[in-house]
Amino acid sequence: MKFVLTIVSVILVSVITYIHTPKFGSLPDGNRLERIKKSTNYKNGQFHNIHPKDLAKPVGFLKTCSILFKIILSIVGNQEKARNEIPSTKTNLINLNKMEDVLIWFGHSSYFIQIEGLRIMVDPVFSEVSSPIPFFPKAFPGTNVYTTSDIPDIDYLVITHDHWDHLDYETVKKLKISKIICPLGVGAHLERWGFNKEIIIEMDWHETVVFDNGFKIHCLPARHFSGRGFLRNKSLWASFLMESPNCFKIFMGGDGGYDTHFRDIGKKFNSIDLAVLENGQYNENWKNIHMHPKETIRAAKDLKARAVLPVHNSKFALSTHLWYEPLENIVEFGKELKILTPMIGEKVDLKNKEQKFKKWWR
């Protein structure tokens, strides 16, 4: 019995020590927390969605264990299915002509935008894993073709929320960044990681920042949650809409379930040129926080988007569906929309309305 207690104590101390390492970030405090408390989305010590609902479908302990077991099997199966199957290419970003208006997707929800001479990175994750567990779940073979050394100096880093598959400690620490745009509270992590607070711009829903160069960024609602450890919703989650100096509009959806905010955003911002929307890692048991491809199509229609780039797929397995299912479904359900499906690393010409992409996942 004494031996068992010793082992349990060692495990507990190890876990507590690990979750206090820098990569877990920090909780907001001081002036940052005082600003958070003034947000209309913050009540009773945490942030809330517009229409509060359970983040996941309530199930019993045995059902929860069954779901987790299926996810683990699916992750292992997807890893095997994707072995040597995920094609990619590699656009040289360092030598990219700054007058080219392009988007490069890195897999999952990470992408690079260059528009009208400005360089923007969104939710970059170049690590092999997308969770606090050092070895699980690993990126599919062939999907990690980029490293931070392949990335030029960035004008604006946009972080939609603080989950590990969107905010990666190892990646952001190595990037050269002029300004960071993120939701309320996320700056606490970034400051702990050594970023100067003067370059961090934290935003609440429905706030807008206009820079001297004419670049605008609007912080908008999303239906999701936040947290890097055991505590949830201490920082905000958001979508963003970027307007370039020449009024090219890109909606950056981040993560989240379907809700009325898409319709409201579509009414407020007429003629969104491109909507980057979550399409992957969905499951009936957490449908409130991740959209099914049919809902992604519905959201795109609500936004009145001229083109849609489906992301949150093809790099990590975080649900039970096959890795290629989200892409197969969205092109099937969204035949009346312009859906962009580039390979990882393939150049998307933002101003070319006729550009077409292969069904590379087949």
Instruction: Name the DSSP letter for residue 97.
Output: -
Give the tens place of pLDDT for each residue, 218-270: 999 999 999 999 899 999 999 999 999 999 999 999 999 999 999 999 999 98
Q: For residue 20, what are the contacts with CB-CB under 8 A and spacing of at least 6? A: none
Question: From CA 265, how far away is CA 303, in angstroms rounded?
Answer: 6
Q: How far apart are CA 252 and CA 258, in angstroms?
A: 14
Question: Per the domain annotation, does 13 fall within a domain?
Answer: no
Task: Determine how many CB atoms are found less than 10 A away from the CB of residue 77.
Answer: 14
Task: Please check whether residue 3 lies inside any domain of the structure.
Answer: no
Domain count, the chain: 1
Is 39 domain-assigned? no
pTM of the model: 0.94
Average pLDDT, rounded, for the chain: 91
Give pLDDT tens digits for 107-148.
999 999 999 999 999 999 999 999 998 877 889 999 999 999
Helix (H) or strand (E) holding 303: helix 293-303
Query: Up-side HSE of residue 95: CA atoms within 13 Å toward CB?
Result: 3
Token pair recorded at residue 106: 């890195």
Query: Which range of residues forms the domain containing residue 155?
Result: 80-349
Flag whether 220 is in a domain.
yes
237: in domain: yes
Report the CATH number at residue 300: 3.60.15.10
Q: What is the pLDDT of residue 202?
A: 98
Residue 330 domain flag = yes
| Residue 289 contacts residue 325 (beta carbons within 8 Å) | no
Q: DSSP for 168-209?
A: -HHHHHHS-EEEEEEETTTHHHHHHTT--GGGEEEE-TTEEE
Half-sphere exposure of 181 (CA within 13 A, CB side): 27
Give a yes or no: residue 40 inside a domain.
Answer: no
Asked whether residue 24 is assigned to any structural domain, the reply reads no
pLDDT truncated to tens, each residue of the chain (362 aa)?
665 555 655 556 656 677 779 999 999 999 999 999 999 999 999 999 999 877 766 556 666 677 667 767 766 666 666 666 789 999 999 999 999 999 999 999 999 999 999 999 999 999 999 999 887 788 999 999 999 999 999 999 999 999 999 999 999 999 999 999 999 999 999 999 999 999 999 999 999 999 999 999 999 999 999 999 989 999 999 999 999 999 999 999 999 999 999 999 999 998 899 999 999 999 988 999 999 999 999 999 999 999 999 999 999 989 889 999 999 999 999 999 999 999 999 999 999 999 999 999 98
